Amino acid sequence: MGKPNIRIENWGRTDYKAALDRQLTTLNELRAGNQPDTLVFTEHNPVYTLGKRAGTANHLVADKKFLESNEIQIVETNRGGDITYHGPGQITGYLFIDLSKSRDLHQLLRKVEDLIIAVVSSYGLQCGRREGMTGVWIDSRKIAAIGMAARHWISFHGFALNVSTNLDHFQGIVPCGITDGTVTSLEKELGRKVTIQEVQERLSGEFEERFSVVEK
């Protein structure tokens, strides 16, 4: 019997800048053949991250007082997409996937959306995509953001799924540049407590099912 050639890690609570450096280290390890396709879980300290899309900085609306009172940092990053928020109660998942055969980052984005849709749907919630937009939605309420990049045809960055996130922190930005929708979380939609560990277990199961490659 072979074994699935994937790996799942949990970095716990991290500072975004330190996690970005760690992402690049993980990417290089995979490129060198020292690590299989990997999913990393983390929760970040409060931070607004700005992607490479033009005009992203215009979607930061928080003033200095709001940032300081909520202890929110601002970091420019090298992923695709617009501005988003990361913080406690939100599962940030980083995916390091070898794309050397497919060379199709967009296909990976759709696959990650499918993974998250399956997990959110497992809670009895109707969710899906919005035409022309990346991420996972419940009607016009965004529950998960996705922003990825690739280097040497290995993906990094990933998704952010709101579980028990402080949604007030999204008031300091126009999330992902979306002006005709809001953000939500699993706890808000379900009206009850949901643990990070429980959701991570469901995400892990879907990742194993969708991304594992059996070694022979």
Write the single-letter amino acid at 174: V
Q: Which of 19, 120, 146, 176 is catalytic?
A: 176
CA atoms within 13 A on the CB side of 162: 28
Catalytic annotation present for 127:
no
Q: Which residues are known catalytic residues?
A: 176
